[in-house]
Amino acid sequence: MTDFVGRRRELKELREDIARTGLDTLSGRKAKAPRARVLLVAGRPGSGRTALAEALVREIADDYPDGVHKVRLTAPGGEAVATERAIRTLLEGLGQPTPPGAAEDELSSVLRTTLAGRRAVLLVDDAADPHQVDALLPDTPECLVVVTAEGPLTGIPDVRPCTLGGLDTPSAVRMLVQRIGDIRVANDPRAAEALAEECGGQPAALSLAGGWLAAHPKASITDVAKQLHDMPAGTSGPLARTFRLVYESLPQPAQRTLRLLPLAPAGLVDSHTASALAGCSVAAAQSILEDFAALGLVRSAHDGLFLLPGCLAPLLQALLKAKERPAEVQLARARMLERTVRLLLSCRAMAEDDEGSGLGVPEKLDGLPRALRFADRRAAATWLDTRLPALTAAASLAVADGELDTLARRLVAALAGALSDHRGTAEAAPELYGLHRLVLDVAQRRDLHREQAAALLNLADLDAETGRTQEALERYRAALDAGRAANDPYAAGRAMESVGGAYQELADWHRASDWFGRALSHSLARGERADEARLYGRLGNVHTYAGRYGEALRSWRAASAGYRRLADVPGQAKALSEMARVQEYAGRPEESLHTCREAVELARKAGDLRLQAALQVRLADTLDRLGDPAAARLHRSAADRLLGDDPAACEIRSGSD
């Protein structure tokens, strides 16, 4: 990576601008407390605006002890990054978890709350409009926001853009020296100045010209300047001319690989992506990418990743459209998605490797080429983490494409599975939420009712887990409709039970028992005994909460009988323990004592020490109320011997858990 050169005047102006009065308001808003100072670096793609913003941030970083947090608002292909995704990126960098499915306003509020009292820098790269920036602005003047954009963001008052032109000639020549060394420049300084002029002082063009010269050590600077000068009139702009010079010097296979790179999701490319797009070996693709990086056509990122510069994306997209047939483009995209699915399956298989050696899952990897296998679980998890922006973008693009729905569904399913297996559902929830929404999009577009039901159930579960019960209830009802339309009894039954669970969470005992009753009737009609026993337990819980102890006891007796028929001894023990609890609530301590002793014997037979201990404590409490403290002490001692003096170990889980 070359060192930053030039722009000393711009850096000085930006530093001075930090001390000016901060942003008070956006257009159309009433005045409010000062918000963070906003600095804007404006310039055309390739002007070095991001490099200048990063140089500024490096210089002032020590003044902001809470760190620098960067987010990009436009993908290399030109698509705007969803504001919700941008805020989540910042919150993740700040170590702040966010609920999956939260709306933009909620996330924006969380971000501002998180930054309150902090002194941090937000580097917001490639903003397309002021509304994107507004959602990210902290309400604290101790923070600083540095924004890069192509032009002025007129919706934000009191922000003077630092507008970039080309580098001055000495700085442009220094940039060439960094790429090709000082000897060639010293031998012909006039030619170096002429080349800088042909490049318009534009850093991206200078980087390409310098990369080409470095790859052709026998070429003279004068010849390169002349070639650029003699380019046909139709080749407009220094960057387009320099890019054409570099592109036309490449071998045909490399040219084709380069043309296909705009298909890479999020502009992130590795050897597997390039290999699949171009139809070449992984080793050949890696070599080509390294050559591209040396020429300045891509930027080396980390962990084998390369980033396609946004300023080159329009030029490459024009070449792709002009040189590649649509069928070939679609085939290349399909190859890339298929490769991604296989890598995700390999990644997911490694999550089942408890030892981390890669030796425990050979059957999962049968038929998979060695190039698609990971060394161990850690390597697979690292790959998933570093590629996640590209993987989620690939899923979104595949769904939006509409021509590869089968591949899109496989990709989304593989990615969701890999995230769940490596991170756990709770940690992966924000990403899973987005993936399930993508599945829902495909299912609705193709009238796939079963897939609609599954996606709605998954989304509703995530809503329920994060406390958005009303939203969950609406989705469970929609899932029920989709399950019925698909004639899918499993989805319909699951949805009915989940509707009941949502009403239970809302403390609407009447509706909860009604929906659990519907789900129970559905299971009884299908002879699903395990579901029957569980649903009797859920009904017992709701009746208990509602104070309907007679109905609760009938439900728990039915649950106990169901578990007995299934030979599920732990389940039967838990059902009896709940019966004992209800009997105690109902003022029938002798019955509770008898039921509790029966449950203890079953728990002992099942080997459930935790349940045994909890039941011993319940027995002790009941005996105390019956006036037998000596027997109560014996049972408490038994509980202590089973699990030690840990009160948490004596909690009784409901039979419906």
Q: What is the pLDDT of residues 68-87, one digit of tens each?
A: 999 999 887 777 888 888 99
Read off the pLDDT band of 308 (50, 70, 90). Answer: very high
What is the reported pLDDT for 539? 96
What is the reported pLDDT for 397? 84
What is the reported pLDDT for 29? 47
Q: What is the pLDDT of residues 194-214, one digit of tens each?
A: 999 999 999 999 999 999 999
123's enclosing H/E stretch is: strand 121-127
Half-sphere exposure of 391 (CA within 13 A, CB side): 29
Q: What is the pLDDT of residues 140-192, one digit of tens each?
A: 888 999 999 988 888 777 787 899 989 999 999 999 999 898 888 888 899 99
Greatest mean pLDDT range, 385-394, 478-487, 613-622: 478-487
What is the reported pLDDT for 650? 40
Give the pair of three-digit tokens for residue 415: 């990615």
Candidate from 52-66, 240-254, 542-556, 578-592 with smallest mean pLDDT: 578-592
Could you tell me how far CA 586 lies from the centroid of its own chain?
Answer: 49
Could you tell me how far CA 649 lies from the centroid of its own chain?
Answer: 36
Read off the pLDDT band of 430 (50, 70, 90). Answer: confident
What is the reported pLDDT for 653? 35
Residue 420 has pLDDT above 60, yes or no: yes
User: Bridge-partner residues for 234, per DSSP?
Assistant: none
What is the reported pLDDT for 641? 80
Measured between alpha carbons, how far is 465 from 202 in angstroms, rounded to an integer? 51
The DSSP-derived string for 481-549 is HHHHHTT-HHHHHHHHHHHHHHHHHTT-HHHHHHHHHHHHHHHHHHT-HHHHHHHHHHHHHHHHHTT-H
Rg (CA), the chain: 32
Instruction: Return the amino acid letter for 512.
Output: A
The DSSP-derived string for 360-374 is S-GGGGTT--GGG--
* Residue predicted with more confidence, 316 or 613: 316
- What lies within 8 Å, CB to CB, of 362 at 6+ separation is none
**Phi and psi angles of residue 199, each rounded to the nearest 5 degrees, phi first:** -85, 0
Place of tokens 């659990």: 516
Percentage of the chain exceeding pLDDT 90: 54
What is the reported pLDDT for 364? 62
Interval 126-132 mean pLDDT: 88
What is the reported pLDDT for 92? 87
What is the reported pLDDT for 648? 44
What is the reported pLDDT for 614? 82
Average pLDDT of every residue of the chain: 87
Measured between alpha carbons, how far is 68 from 61 in angstroms, rounded to an integer? 7
Greatest mean pLDDT range, 77-86, 516-525, 583-592: 516-525
Q: What is the pLDDT of residues 174-187, one digit of tens each?
A: 999 998 988 888 88
Residue 250 vs residues 216, 243, 276, 320, 630: alpha-carbon distances, Å: 12, 11, 20, 16, 92
What is the reported pLDDT for 654? 34
Interval 520-526 mean pLDDT: 94
What is the reported pLDDT for 652? 37
Measured between alpha carbons, how far is 254 from 291 in angstroms, rounded to an integer? 9
> What 3-state class would DSSP assign to 80?
strand
